[in-house]
Structure 1
Amino acid sequence: MDIFDEMKSIGKHTCVAKIGGFRPENTDLDWFGGNFLRDPKEAWPEVNGSLLVPLLQIYIPDIKDGHKIFGDHMLVQIYIEKDHLPMDINRNGDGWKIVFYKDINLLEITETPEPANILKPFPVRWNLNEVLDYPCWEEAWEYVDLTEINEEEELNDRFFDEFNRYTKTKIGGYASYIQSPISDEYKFILQISSEEKPGLMIGDNGNIYIYKSKIDNDWYLYWDCF
């Protein structure tokens, strides 16, 4: 098989986030930066006594193949520490948290407490991107032998022209790494990018990546920036 045909065969669909820019509705359950549903009997998520910032809430039925991605849940929420992001690859609970709910009937919209209230909440719409995602150059070697492309400038240019990935907040597809990819023992699940509307800046216009470990089945976070 031609190398470029091999690359095309590993393209993946991704659900991309439209953050704001439309009139919110009372039925909106996908949110960026706040307006999260919480169990009124539960304490706000924290790490080492520090209240966590609500980053992204996803209503799983709104995502194509959402239950295949997140399991038997209805809602998933991601929180991070306010003052710094954990270095390296960090397990759920180490400087950040991912929270799941199987039943949302008893949950209530909860105001973000101070000092975790630093982002402006926006509703989110998820849309299946028509353009397929492809892995970056370094990651692509895990799937395809690119030696021939590496040795010919014309083929190299064609590779970078044809195989790209969505660079903003998304679920599925391939991570849009700014630096080098991490170990392939982690399965990429979603990406949260620096977003102007809610006021989220990850380092210098960076991204947060959420994974599920292929080894211990737990959730992990990694981030990079320019």
Structure 2
Amino acid sequence: MQTDLQEKIKELQRKIAREITYFQTGGVRPRGAIDECWIGRVLACAADEELPVDQNGAPMLPLAQFYLPALPYVPQVLDGVKLLAVFISQDLIGKFDDDMDGLWAIREYKNEAELVIKELANPRSQIRPFPLQPKFAADDTPVWDGGGLDADAIDEILRLEETEGLEYYDDIALEFYNCTKLGGYPSFCQSGVSFGEGYQFVFQISSDEKAGFNVIDGGSLMFAKNSQNGAWSLYYDFD
């Protein structure tokens, strides 16, 4: 491959690659401290808080806890946030659909001083708690039809495919992190997906065999935030 073409590809890769924090499940001895990340466990909250309840008044299940100051990369939309806690309804497990209102909740904490160690456990939960080890990557790229590429990048990729005989997955794309992660690109399997106007993808929690968490068929829950009003949006996808 000629040098000028190689440089064009490298420049395009630098343009589309995004930084992420991704997580390895288990493999570390937990301390039960606020500064830990978990799947299947939330152990930090405000002193007067209990488990959130779903639309039917039933306590939700703790799905994940992310302590952001300990992470190598955090999306800018989360500036000032110290801890995220994610909960889902028992009614959501195994039967995800398009209407998930009232079946999930996110708590954001900006003041670490308000946090206490308080196990928010639900005995009905089938999700096995495991600590999460954060890892850094700078080469997350999107699937071709999954969204996230800007128009200029798409035009350049199509031009290289037509004029140079390149193929996006073989010659241009870097790595696809289809796992629990903050930042980067959502692991869409379906094309034409939108979180809604003003929303940007922030993180995803993917199916985890070790933790016994499965989204339909090895899919992911993907969370986006509106930077203007702070609202969250949830989408799910699977192969």
TM-score, structure 1 as length reference? 0.84
Unaligned runs of 5+ in 2: 1-6
Structure 2 partner of 1:58: 66
Q: Structure 2 counterpart of 1:33, which letter? A: G
Number of residues of Structure 1 aligned to a counterpart in Structure 2: 220
Structure 1 partner of 2:27: 21
Unaligned runs of 5+ in 1: none
Aligned identity (percent) is 29
Structure 2 partner of 1:36: 43
Task: Compare 193-202 and 136-145 and name the one that shifted more.
Answer: 136-145
Shift of 1:33: 0.3
1:87 is aligned, of 93, 97, 105, to: 97
Shift of 1:25: 2.6
Structure 2 partner of 1:179: 190
Q: Structure 1 counterpart of 2:169, which letter? A: F
1:205 is aligned, of 215, 218, 221, to: 218
Question: C-alpha distance in 2, partners of 1:74/1:36?
Answer: 14
Shift of 1:213: 2.7
Structure 1 partner of 2:179: 168
Shift of 1:220: 0.7
SS of corresponding position for 1:221: strand
Task: Compare 198-207 and 71-80 and name the one that shifted more.
Answer: 71-80
Structure 1 partner of 2:117: 108
Question: C-alpha distance in 2, partners of 1:51/1:203?
Answer: 22
Structure 1 partner of 2:3: none
How big is each residue's C-alpha offset from its partner over 1:129-165, in whole Å with a ceiling of 9 and x where there is no partner? Answer: 2x50112212235451133245469312xx1024132
Alignment map for 1:66-81 (pairs within 5 Å): 66=74, 68-81=76-89
How big is each residue's C-alpha offset from its partner over 1:59-91, in whole Å with a ceiling of 9 and x where there is no partner? Answer: 01012353734132211111112222653486x
Shift of 1:8: 3.0
Structure 1 partner of 2:136: 128
Q: Structure 2 counterpart of 1:80, which letter? A: I
Task: Compare 196-205 and 38-47 and name the one that shifted more.
Answer: 38-47
Question: C-alpha distance in 2, partners of 1:19/1:204?
Answer: 19
CA RMSD across the alignment: 2.7
TM-score, structure 2 as length reference? 0.80
Structure 2 partner of 1:118: 126
How big is each residue's C-alpha offset from its partner over 1:26-62, in whole Å with a ceiling of 9 and x where there is no partner? Answer: 4452111014213342231112112211111000101
Q: Structure 1 counterpart of 2:212, which letter? A: G
Shift of 1:94: 3.2
